C-alpha cells in the first residue's frame, strides 16, 4: 500500500487534548480526576482458537503470548505482575491511578471460580490505586455466569469488557481464523451493556481482503453496537504468527502510515461522536515486529489524525451524523 510518508510530523503535546475526536486520556482525567495508566496483566488464560475447542493456531495475527505480555509463561504470578505495575504507576505521580487490564488471551474462557480468583488479586488496591478493571475476551466466550460475576464486581469498581470484533465481515473472520461472527460480537455487547458493564470494541485496519471500505464498515458496526469505547490499530506482522508465513510468501501487504491515517480518519468519522477512542495504534517490540516498520512514533499518529480531520473539515461521528440526516 503506498501513500506519501509523513516525515515531518512531530508529536504535539496539545494533541493530548484533541478537539476533533474523543481521546482516552482527557476522558480518564475528567472521569477519575487524576491521570490513569493501564497495568497490563497476563492471568495465564487460554483461548478456544488455540486449544482446539474452535480452532488451532490462533488468529492469524496473534502471537503465542495471546496478544499480551507473556508474563505468565515467564513465571510471573499475577499478584507480582500487579505489584510491579502499580509501582510503575506510582512513580508517575502520587495521584496517578491505574486500570487493571487483563489483556492476554480470552480472560472469561475459564471457570467462574478461576475468574473470581483472578479478580480477587485486585481487591487490596480497589479504592486506592486501581480505579477500573478491564477484561479482554472473545465475544463467544462471555457466558451469562461470567457476566453475572463481572456485574457483581462492577458494584465495587467500574468493570469494562473488551471484546474483539477486529473486522465486521463474517467471511473474513473465518479467513483470519478468528472463528466467531459479527452477530456473536453484537450479542456479547448487548448482554454486557444490559448488565451495566462498560464495553470496548477492538478493530484492526488493513486485514488481508478488507480494505478502506472494510474499515468504514467495521466502524459503522462498532457505532451501531453502542460500545462505549473503541480500540483500533493497523495490521502488524509479528514473529511466530500465521501472518508471518503469509507475509514471507508475499500474500500480505501492510499499510504505510499515510494510508493508515487516511483510513483511520474515515473510521473515526463513522464512529459515534460519544464513543471514546482508547487506542489508535498498537505496540510491538522491534524484535517481534516484522512489518510495517514505521519511522513515526505512535504519538505522531494522534497529531496526524487530528490534522487530517481538520484538513477535511470533519470530526468524529460526522459521517454517521450525515448518513442519519433525512
Q: Please give the residue ranges that form the binding site for ligand SF4 (CB under 6 A).
A: 47, 49-50, 58-59, 62, 66-67, 105-106, 138
- Helix or strand or coil: residue 325? coil
Beta strand extents in the chain (DSSP E only): 36-41, 97-102, 130-137, 159-166, 198-205, 229-234, 237-238, 276-279, 289-291
CB of 69 to ligand SF4, least distance (A): 13
Cβ nearer to ligand SF4, comparing 103 with 318: 103
CA gap 92, 117 in Å, rounded: 29
Place of cell 491515517: 261
As measured in angstroms, the least distance from the Cβ of 67 to ligand SF4 is: 5
- Identify which of residues 50 and 320 has a Cβ nearer to ligand SF4 in the complex: 50
67/259 with CB nearer ligand SF4: 67
- In the bound state with ligand SF4, the residue whose beta carbon lies nearer, of 21 and 185, is 185
**Residue with Cβ nearer ligand SF4 (22 or 180):** 180
Give the whole-angstrom CA distance, residue 151 versus residue 143: 12
What is the C-alpha to C-alpha distance for residues 160 and 142, in angstroms, rounded to an integer?
Answer: 13
3-state secondary structure of 68: coil
Give min distance, CB of 51 to ligand SF4, in A. Answer: 10
- Rounded least distance, CB 242 to ligand SF4, Å: 10
Q: Which residues contact 11 (CB under 8 A, 6 or more apart)?
A: 297, 299, 300, 302, 303
Q: Least distance in Å: CB of 136 to ligand SF4?
A: 8
User: Of 173 and 280, which CB lies nearer to ligand SF4 in the complex structure?
Assistant: 173
* Nine cell digits for residue 132: 477500573
Report yes or no: 48 and 138 within 8 Å, Cβ to Cβ: yes
Q: 66 is written with which cell numbers?
A: 495471546
| Cβ neighbours, 10 Å, residue 156 | 13
CB of 68 to ligand SF4, least distance (A): 8
Amino acid at each position: 500500500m503506498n501513500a506519501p510518508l509523513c516525515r515531518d510530523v512531530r508529536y504535539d503535546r496539545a494533541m493530548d487534548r484533541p478537539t476533533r475526536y474523543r481521546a482516552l486520556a482527557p476522558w480518564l482525567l475528567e472521569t477519575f480526576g487524576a491521570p490513569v495508566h493501564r497495568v497490563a496483566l497476563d492471568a495465564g488464560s487460554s483461548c478456544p482458537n488455540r486449544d482446539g475447542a474452535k480452532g488451532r493456531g490462533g488468529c492469524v495475527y496473534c502471537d503465542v503470548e495471546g496478544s499480551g505480555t507473556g508474563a505468565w509463561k515467564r513465571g510471573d504470578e499475577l499478584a507480582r505482575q500487579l505489584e510491579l505495575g502499580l509501582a510503575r504507576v506510582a512513580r508517575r505521580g502520587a495521584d496517578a491511578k491505574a486500570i487493571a487490564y487483563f489483556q492476554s488471551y480470552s480472560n472469561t474462557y475459564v471457570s467462574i471460580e478461576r475468574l473470581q480468583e483472578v479478580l480477587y488479586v485486585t481487591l487490596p488496591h480497589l479504592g486506592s490505586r486501581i480505579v477500573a478493571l478491564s477484561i479482554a475476551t472473545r465475544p463467544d466466550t462471555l457466558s451469562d455466569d461470567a457476566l453475572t460475576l463481572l456485574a457483581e464486581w462492577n458494584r465495587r469498581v467500574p468493570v469494562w469488557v473488551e471484546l474483539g470484533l477486529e473486522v465486521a465481515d463474517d467471511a473474513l473472520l473465518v479467513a483470519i481464523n478468528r472463528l466467531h461472527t459479527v452477530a456473536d460480537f453484537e450479542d456479547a455487547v448487548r448482554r454486557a451493556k444490559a448488565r451495566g458493564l462498560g464495553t470496548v470494541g477492538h478493530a484492526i485496519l488493513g486485514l488481508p481482503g478488507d480494505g478502506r471500505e472494510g474499515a468504514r464498515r467495521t466502524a459503522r458496526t462498532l457505532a451501531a453496537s453502542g460500545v462505549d469505547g473503541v480500540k483500533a490499530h493497523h495490521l502488524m506482522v509479528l514473529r511466530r504468527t500465521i501472518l508471518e508465513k503469509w507475509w514471507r510468501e508475499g500474500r500480505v501487504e501492510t499499510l504505510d502510515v499515510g494510508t493508515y491515517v487516511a483510513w483511520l480518519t474515515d473510521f473515526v468519522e463513522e464512529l459515534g461522536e460519544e464513543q471514546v477512542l482508547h487506542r489508535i495504534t498498537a505496540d510491538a517490540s522491534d524484535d517481534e515486529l516484522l512489518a510495517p516498520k514505521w519511522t513515526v512514533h505512535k504519538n505522531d499518529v494522534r497529531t496526524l489524525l487530528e490534522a487530517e480531520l481538520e484538513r477535511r473539515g470533519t470530526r468524529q461521528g460526522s459521517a454517521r451524523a450525515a448518513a442519519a440526516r433525512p
